């Protein structure tokens, strides 16, 4: 198949492009390089089945493709808050452009949605049926509401125009190729530990997150995309739940060195807990995470160690 991956030079997108090429597909990677890097896809550039297009998803685009994975959007809070208006435009107009292309070409189209649609959840763990608890005017709203609106667009194009959609709700995912200055907790803690700096816990560190290793996530993406009929939304994530204090202690134990823990102010609207209910993915996709946080941290730490040594 010929497959378009928007945001294909980013952390998740580059792993997805690689996996799709390995399976014998042609891949067009579209990216504006806001948080994506050529380094992430440099090893794919010689592959005759790989094509790179520098383009912004808010501007229309045309390709003849069989599948569209829409991943373009900054994912870390500092990056998506850097230009909040651009972030919401990317989610909403990017979705409209992907859906319009899918409508014309009859391609199947996949939306990388997020656990952030659940906001600061009043239901725990979160099932797909939960409508969420999002502050529509807070500092995370450009991302959360942008992603919620994109989901609405996907389901309206599906109902109104028969577009073949797949929607995944991704829970915190980590692994090699995250940016060292990304601002997300796993990359922050690892980079701080490798530099021998103290690990910055925001708030008291009792808030929880569930961390999925990138390879597991990409397997879930492809299973959903190739499912004959399931539109989603489907939660994909690892239900292992950790406090930020536990994560910090684990990273310090694995990296070693003199780092301790320091506390900083908790950012606005920071969700207190998050854990996916993955029974739908287990039942319909036969999908389960296979890499524990303990195991997934090792290749991630190795990646950052190498990156920091080169820099």
Crossing angle, helix 11-22 and helix 214-225, to 10 degrees?
A: 60
Asked whether position 77 contacts ligand UDP by CB under 6 A, the answer is yes
- The partner in contact with residue 251, picked from ligand NAD, ligand UDP, none with C-beta cut-offs of 5 to 8 angstroms by kind, is none
Q: Sign of torsion, CA 276 222 143 201?
A: positive
Among 4, 5, 17, 36, binds ligand NAD (CB under 6 A): 36
Which residue in 118, 143, 157, 213 is the catalytic one?
Answer: 143
For the segment 101-160, give every residue that binds ligand UDP (CB under 6 A). none
What residues between 131 and 150 interact with ligand NAD by CB under 6 A? none
List b or e across 239-264, with b for residues whose CB sees 16 or more CB atoms inside 10 angstroms: bebbbbbebbbebbeebeeebebeee
- Which lies closer to ligand NAD via its Cβ, residue 17 or residue 193? 17
In the complex, the smallest distance separating the C-beta of residue 129 from ligand UDP, rounded to whole angstroms, is 21
Compute the least distance from the CB of residue 26 to ligand UDP, in Å. Answer: 33
**Segment interacting with ligand NAD (CB under 6 A) among 73-81, 120-128, 192-200, 248-256:** 73-81
Encoded one letter per residue, x for contact with ligand NAD by CB under 6 A and - for no contact, window 96-125 reads ----------------x-x-----------
Give catalytic status of residue 157 as yes or no: no
Nearer to ligand UDP, 116 or 216 (CB): 116
Task: Name which of ligand NAD, ligand UDP, none residue 77 binds, using a CB cut-off of 5 to 8 Å depending on partner kind.
Answer: ligand UDP
């Amino acid at each position: 198949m010929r497959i378009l991956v928007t945001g294909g030079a980013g952390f998740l997108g580059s792993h997805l492009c690689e996996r799709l090429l390995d399976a014998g597909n042609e891949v067009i990677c579209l990216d504006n390089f806001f948080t994506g890097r050529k380094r992430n896809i440099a090893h794919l550039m010689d592959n005759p089945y790989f094509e790179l297009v520098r383009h912004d998803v808010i501007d229309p685009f045309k390709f003849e493709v069989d599948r569209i994975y829409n991943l373009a959007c900054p994912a870390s809070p500092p990056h998506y808050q850097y230009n909040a208006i651009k972030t919401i435009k990317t989610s909403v107009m990017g979705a409209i452009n992907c859906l319009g292309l899918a409508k014309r070409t009859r391609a199947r189209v996949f939306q990388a949605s997020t656990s952030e649609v659940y906001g600061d959840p009043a239901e725990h763990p979160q099932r797909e049926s939960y409508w969420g608890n999002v502050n529509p005017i807070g500092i995370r709203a450009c991302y959360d509401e942008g992603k919620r609106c994109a989901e609405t667009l996907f389901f309206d194009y599906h109902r109104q125009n028969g577009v073949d959609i797949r929607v995944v709700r991704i829970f915190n995912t980590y692994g090699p190729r995250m940016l060292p200055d990304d601002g997300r907790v796993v990359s922050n803690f690892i980079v701080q530990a490798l530099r021998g700096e103290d690990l910055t816990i925001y708030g008291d560190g009792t808030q929880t997150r569930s961390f999925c290793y990138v390879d597991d996530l990409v397997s879930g993406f492809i299973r959903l995309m190739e499912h004959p009929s399931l539109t989603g939304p489907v939660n994909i994530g690892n239900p292992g739940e950790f406090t930020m204090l536990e994560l910090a202690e684990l990273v310090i134990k694995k990296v070693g060195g003199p780092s301790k823990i320091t506390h900083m102010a908790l950012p606005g609207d920071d969700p207190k807990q998050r854990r996916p209910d993955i029974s739908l993915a287990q039942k319909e996709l036969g999908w389960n995470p296979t890499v524990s946080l303990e195991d997934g941290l090792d290749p991630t730490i190795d990646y950052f160690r190498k990156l920091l040594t080169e820099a």
